[in-house]
Structure 1
Amino acid sequence: MPRPQKKRRVCALPEIRGFSPEGVPARGVVEMTVDEYETIRLMDLLGRTQEDCAVQMGVARTTVQAVYGSARRKLAEVLAEGKRLEIRGGEVTLCEAAERCCGKNCRRESCERGVCRHGCRRKQA
């Protein structure tokens, strides 16, 4: 019997949960999980390393590597084959500090000197 999948921590649920090709009917649907979306956001948008992403999500680096690979394959399928992308599902939990986030690995303003006014710690680069 396989062990249960560990929940991955995400900063927030995506505001936009789908994309479609413009001007033509979609040729199918690709479903991306919220944790796959989060790895793309952290690594490609924010430039974080796999190790930083793993710490933020509370999983092993090898898990991030597998999730990231899956997410990139899905994005390639959407772009190359004109499919609709839907973002939903996955074993995730919202970051406990999401409402008062210091900016560690997210879009919000980054912390000064590694510690924000909320007491969150940020790994020094």
Structure 2
Amino acid sequence: MKTLKISLLALTFGLMSFNSGNTITDPFVKTAAISAVSWKSDMIEVGEIQQNQPKNIEFEFTNTGKTDIVITNVRPTCGCTVADYTKTPIKPGEKGKVNATFNAAVKGAFTKTITVTTNAEETPKSLTFKGTVI
């Protein structure tokens, strides 16, 4: 009887190894996807700007995918930057924008980041601008 149980157990494990894996999806394995958002530039050098005079910085992108892109969230890293963006869906082949208005109160070099989340990418995109306040 003990030999029969061991044989059935070995047969069960043996048959399990013939599973091709095509029917089971591993949630921890990610496939690399090509982004549908093509940014003109993700870093802009604004040069020297005047203290307490707002400076507008424009980041432009193109929808290179096959479906509409919607910007779901735009978040500047500090209170000195206000962001605005294209609110309507961006159709394939069309362009969208993220505008940042930076009002520098302190003189010196700066680097600021804006985080943009879309329905086309799992990871938010970081846009950076830098310069010097004089």
TM-score (norm 1): 0.25
Q: Which has the larger radius of gyration?
A: 2
RCO greater where, 1 or 2, for CA within 8 Å and sep 6 or more? 1
Comparing both structures, which one devotes a greater share of its residues to strand? 2
TM-score (norm 2): 0.24
Comparing both structures, which one devotes a greater share of its residues to helix? 1
